[in-house]
Amino acid sequence: MSSLNLDDFTDLIERPDGGVRRDAEARRERQIVPPGSLGRLDDLGEWLAAAQSAVPVRPIERPRVVLFAGDHGVAELGVSARPAGGAGQLVREVLEGGRPVSVLARRLGVPVRIVDMALDCEPEALPEDVVRHRVRRGSGRIDVEDALTLQEAEAAFRAGVAVADEEADSGTDLVVLGDVSVGGTTAAGVLVAALCGVDASVVTGRGGLAIDDLAWMRKCAAIRDALRRARPVLGDQLQLLATVGGADLAAMTGFLLQSAVRKMPVVLDGVVTAACALVGQRIAFRAPDWWLAAHDSGEPGQAKALDRMALEPLLTQGVTVGEGAGGLLALPLVQAAAALAAELPEKAKESEEPETSEASEVSDAAEGSEVPTEQ
């Protein structure tokens, strides 16, 4: 039995401040640009004000990319265009600055943090600050076995909570959340299908490198088989993550929920983060109010999850590479919304008209003077 009580998050998570949001809307009414003329930027600015409990909204000055990494045993089935166990190499490339997220982060001046939860490589191959939260080496093959033991799932979930606390305590004011994994989109597809009550074919996408038709069929079959194993444990979200998730997905779920507890907004990247967010919604229904969907990657599982949480993507660029790259593309939009909400001047108040006009003053003067009469 797990000692973790997930029900606590329902009590701990509050919605962003509705009163502050109304104040932000009222301020927007007074600004020189008509309300609605900035489209979704208006909504974004008001959402940020509520999340920060501040009017005017504060600028996003300390954003951070947080990537949870892991290898998934289901990749052995050829469901990914990358080799099974290849996530460690991707992590090294991110650290060396050669991945899309690295380029975008440099350009935007945003630090990137990678958290190894279950990479299939020797821990000595990566820096200590990357591997210190690792739960195990690789996750199990979810079509035939559990991804994790329940104890490992709890450890991974608690690690995600700890990382969220570290970020909040360090002053991070917004997180772009992503994953670095091989086989992660397959596990995400199982979670989405299980929680939305749909068949495997509805959520099976092509992944980051656009797998061919044969690989897609293998992936669909793997999700179908794992889905059979997921349905009996749908009522226990931690057991669900242990059965068909993975250490990286369990950690991301814990991170998302604790970020909501700490009132730290999170931008979701792709299908893997969307699947974890969907699990988080099952645990604490108010939690999605603290999250933004960065972009539409074209993955059907992501679309299904976001629709269930009523989250509308900010961008549609078809970015499937993962690793937080799509999330970073949305960051300037969020920062622009904050700047416009805070810095657009308000309309000048109309000066009150004097009670008497110049003409009436002349008339009054004439009435007060003596008019000579003919003698």
Residue found by looking up tokens 């996750």 in the block: 139
Residue found by looking up tokens 């074209």 in the block: 298
| Residue 32 neighbours by CB distance under 10 Å | 9
Helix (H) or strand (E) holding 175: strand 174-182
**Distance between CA atoms of 112 and 117, rounded to whole angstroms?**
16
**Distance between CA atoms of 220 and 204, rounded to whole angstroms?**
6
**Two structure tokens written together for 227:** 């889905």
| Residue 76 neighbours by CB distance under 10 Å | 17
Task: Indicate the pairing of strand 112-118 with strand 266-268.
Answer: unpaired
**Distance between CA atoms of 301 and 282, rounded to whole angstroms?**
17
373, 60 Cβ separation under 8 angstroms: no
**Distance between CA atoms of 160 and 133, rounded to whole angstroms?**
9
Nearest CA to 70 among 238, 271, 247?
A: 247
Active site members: 323
84, 54 Cβ separation under 8 angstroms: no
Nearest CA to 50 among 309, 277, 265, 330?
A: 265
The crossing angle, in degrees rounded to 10, of helices 247-261 and 271-283 is 60
**Distance between CA atoms of 358 and 174, rounded to whole angstroms?**
58
Bridge partner residues of 66 (DSSP):
113, 177
